Structure 1
Amino acid sequence: MLYWVLKVLFLGPYLRSTFRPWVSGMENLPATGPVILASNHVSVVDSLFLPLMLKRRVTFLAKSDYFTGKGLKGFVLRTFMNGIGQLSIDRSGGKASEASLDTGVQVLRSGGVLGIYPEGTRSPTGKLYRGRTGVARMVLEAKAAVVPVAMFDTDKAMPIGTVIPKVRRVGIVIGEPLDFSRFEGMEGDRFVLRSITDEIMVEIAKLSGQEYVDVYASTLRQAAAAKAA
């Protein structure tokens, strides 16, 4: 209920009137059935504009930090994240990461739309980085269609490190669905998972025009943090 209140009465109208987002390829989003929206990730507000501009409800998997804050600020953030359809996941690795993927599969098996950033984190440079294979596993386990998405200029509206968004026009391009049914039953093959993930990243790069770098964005972040320490 809160999701639709925010989308229809408050956040949706505000975003449309203030940021005047444009959307191309809306017809490529299947009207029914399990769908993974695989998007590039250049700003924290990607998770606002994408679900609030589409007709179908979109569920994103968000890091657990957003749901565990203390006091009034933590309560407000937690309520807001739940309200815009985000689910808490633990990205610490091992069994926690497996449980997070299972949460995504459950959304898809119920016929829902799952938003995911295959890079695993925001791009630190604006380039497109290597995708994590969790997206491929969910594709095969849930037998879901994959729709590549490119976000434009959200990094200008909310650059990394800023708190208050700047008024900038943003855009969304929705690509044609990708079919990986030829790999059905092969979710245990890591070479297949890598192949699917790479194909998804190629399509995102085509839509976004970003330079592709075959390195994990998290590796780049860790290297930068170590250098600064």
Structure 2
Amino acid sequence: MTDRDCLPDTSSVELPPTFMLHKLRPPARLLIRSRFKVATHGIHHVPASGPVILASNHIGLVDGPLLAIFSPRPVHALTKQEMFEGRMGTFLHKSGQIKLNRFGADPSAMKTCIKVLREGRVAGIFPEGTRGAGDLGRFHGGAAYLALVSGAPVVPVTVLGSREPGGSSGSIPRRGASIEMVYGEPFRTESVAWPRTREQVVESTLLLREHMLAQLEQALALTGRQLPGPLPTGQTNIDNDPHTGVVEQGA
């Protein structure tokens, strides 16, 4: 199947830069490990080459940096556009992260992810859309869509300990806290030629969510850890996340 069969056309899309992404990972690991105890499990589930989608739960502020820095391969992660301001925005752009408008269709972000995958790189995505309990209670269709377009495997990532129970949306764990990242068994689907229907995306989204829930349970059993629970009342949570995802009641 050719790129023309799959669509959308990404020939004019600029690839995110990689220089800083590669250069900064080793010193960033040392810096983070000077404050936290970070352990990774199941990294053999991440293919050593070829396109891969890392789909992670999202409980804390540091989940994005953890995914980019500690994954076995450099990651181009979808990052909310609100972060792309000032010096932080310049840093995110130069380190290869992908700006995403969460509150509307963002074909530019999707095409950039598809370009990344077609070049055999790694795309990162948080299907929950925003920080919360990390239990996949709301689950957006972006990861499933990218898998349908590219045929790339989706590797679930469960992050535990990046927010402590009762911690706010913007909090970070105490110094010396233990953070664990568990890479689960890949979810695989065949690429589907254009036009892909909404029903196909919804069906794949539900199947991926079911798979990630099973991997989440395995991660909790493996580590003996628990999720931190919901955010405190009044904090950013599922209620102000875009209403485009599968929710627990509708799954």
What's the TM-score once normalised by structure 2's chain length? Answer: 0.73
Check 1:131–1:186 CA distance in 2 against 1; reply closer, same or farther (3 A cut): farther
Superposed structure 1 runs of 4+ greater than 6 Å apart: none
Shift of 1:158: 10
Q: What residue number does 2:102 align with?
A: 91
Check 1:173–1:164 CA distance in 2 against 1; reply closer, same or farther (3 A cut): closer
Matched, 1:24 2:53: no
Shift of 1:160: 3.0
CA contact (8 A) 2:29 2:69 kept: yes
Deviation sequence 1:78-119 (CA, Å, 0-9, x none): 23323543121223313xx22221121111111110110112
Give the counterpart of 1:104 among 101, 113, 126.
113
Higher deviation after alignment, 81-90 or 108-117: 81-90
Cα RMSD (Å): 2.7
Shift of 1:190: 1.8
The CA distance in 1 between the partners of 2:72 and 2:26, in whole Å, is 10
CA contact (8 A) 2:51 2:121 kept: yes
Matched, 1:82 2:93: yes
Check 1:132–1:222 CA distance in 2 against 1; reply closer, same or farther (3 A cut): closer
Q: What residue number does 1:12 align with?
A: 29
Check 1:199–1:33 CA distance in 2 against 1; reply closer, same or farther (3 A cut): same
The CA distance in 2 between the partners of 1:222 and 1:52, in whole Å, is 26
Q: What residue number does 1:214 align with?
A: none
CA contact (8 A) 1:149 1:173 kept: yes
Deviation sequence 1:27-81 (CA, Å, 0-9, x none): 00000111001111111211111221123111101111211x3xxxx22x12332
Shift of 1:139: 0.8
Matched, 1:220 2:239: yes
Q: What residue number does 2:6 align with?
A: none
Larger helix fraction of residues: 1
Letter in 1 for 2:96: G
For residues 36-185 of structure 1, what are the structure 2 equivalents within 5 Å? 36-67=53-84, 69=85, 74-75=86-87, 77-94=88-105, 97-123=106-132, 125-156=133-164, 159-162=167-170, 165-167=173-175, 168-181=177-190, 184-185=192-193
Letter in 2 for 1:23: T
Partner-residue secondary structure (3-state), 2:111: helix
Higher deviation after alignment, 43-52 or 149-158: 149-158
The CA distance in 2 between the partners of 1:222 and 1:148, in whole Å, is 21
Deviation sequence 1:3-22 (CA, Å, 0-9, x none): 2332112x111223421211
- Identical columns (%): 31
Structure 1: 5+ residue stretches without partners: 211-216, 224-229
Q: What residue number does 1:213 align with?
A: none
CA contact (8 A) 2:163 2:172 kept: no
